[in-house]
Every structure is written in structure tokens, then in C-alpha cells.
Amino acid sequence: MKTGLLTALAAAICWAGPLEDFRDRQDRQALERAAETARAGAEKRQDAASFRALALAYSYLAEVAQETGDKAVVRDAAGAGIRAAERAVALEPESAENRRLLGTLCGQIVPANVLAGLKYGKRAREELERAIELDPRSAMAYVSRGVGNYYLPKAFGGGIDLAIEDFEKAIALDANLHEAHLWLGIALRRANRNPEARKALETAVRLNPQRVWAKQQLEKTPAT
């Protein structure tokens, strides 16, 4: 039993690197193949680590689909990811990463399905609050909550100001986390703070030169 658990954990850790590379290059086909492989592994092992790896694959697939404007794929990938993350949470309810992934996926479905925004927006916030409670130093949990706040209208409890606060908190915890600088730049641009936005996006590109979307966001951000 212990050997099987260690094998699953090692597999989940090994998945993270390639998945990030596929995400950075916006390689949707590679992410789709990875999700299928992860799904087969989760069905076979039925453990939290395998369902977590599957949820991560679907989350990155939804992220790339959102970046490239394919709402149907966002909706389907996020929905499948939610189901995988729910299995991981059921098996390991005290895992901050399980909660973060579930909250992230609930947040990802919001811009693809506005009518479901209230339901999933509320659930995303609850899961991410729980993730932060379990691991207050998780910079990625603050990034995930910030992304949720970015997409969730102020009337539903989100908004740009809250998003910026979350991204700044993430940077305070991990100054080298490129996702935090990327999303801070995007949020600052929406707040019409373009010089600050460009600075944040330049930092994101410097920290991760392979991230296609970061370069695209920098290119579309005015200097003034």
C-alpha cells in the first residue's frame, strides 16, 4: 500500500513539469493527451495524488482554452477537472493543494458560463479560503483567488481591487512566481494603470520566457 502511494505521488510530481511546459507553449493537443493519460492513471489507482494530477491537467487545459478564446473547451475541461478535484478532496480533505485546485477549477468555469457564475464563484471562494487556511503561505492559492476575483463581478463579491490585493500578497510570499506578476499586470491594465501593468508583465516574461500568453499580454499593454 505504501509503495503504491509513493508511486502515485512521484507520478503526480513528475506530471507537473511537462504540464507547465505544455501550458506555457499553449500546446492544447499535448494537454489533451496528458489529460487522457492522467485519467487512465486515476481510474486505475483511485488515489488522491492521481486525481490531483488529473485535475491539474484539466485546469491547464482550461487555462489555455481561455487564453485562446475557446469557451466550450474551457467549460468542458473545467467541468471534468472539478469532478477530478472533488475526488481528490474526498480522499484528502485536509490537502491545501486539493482545495486550491478545486477552487481554481470552479473559478475557471465562471467566464465560460456566466449563468453559473454565482454558484461556482461562491464555491471557488470557499475552497480557496479553505486552501489558504490550510496553508497560509501558498502563493499559488492567492493567485488562484485573485484570478477568481478578477473574473467575478464586484456585485458577486469579486472585483479588480480584490484581485490586485491577492496578486500582491502572492508576490510578497514568492517574488519569483511568474503567474503572480502576470496576473497582477493583467489586473493593473484593467484598472487603467498601464505603466505599472507593463512593469509587472515584463517581470513575468523575465521569470518565465517560455510563457506565450505573458508575452502576448505585454505586447497588447500600452506604455501609458
How far apart (Å, rounded) are the C-alpha atoms in residues 180 and 143?
6
* Ordered domains of the chain (ranges, CATH): 1-113 (no CATH), 136-224 (1.25.40.10)
What pLDDT is recorded for position 158? 86
How far apart (Å, rounded) are the C-alpha atoms in residues 17 and 21?
6
What pLDDT is recorded for position 4? 45
What pLDDT is recorded for position 6? 40
For the residues of 12-60, what is the DSSP string, one character each?
Answer: HHHHHHHHHHHHHTT-HHHHHHHHHHHHHHHHHH-SHHHHHHHHHHHHH
Ranges of residues in the chain whose predicted pLDDT is under 50: 1-14
User: Greatest CA span in the chain, whole angstroms?
Assistant: 59
What pLDDT is recorded for position 16? 60
What pLDDT is recorded for position 46? 97
In 3-state terms, what secondary structure has residue 221? Answer: coil
For 168-183, b/e burial (b = at least 16 CB within 10 A) is bbbbebbeebbbbbbb
How far apart (Å, rounded) are the C-alpha atoms in residues 36 and 42?
10
pTM score, whole prediction: 0.89
How far apart (Å, rounded) are the C-alpha atoms in residues 41 and 29?
19
What pLDDT is recorded for position 15? 52
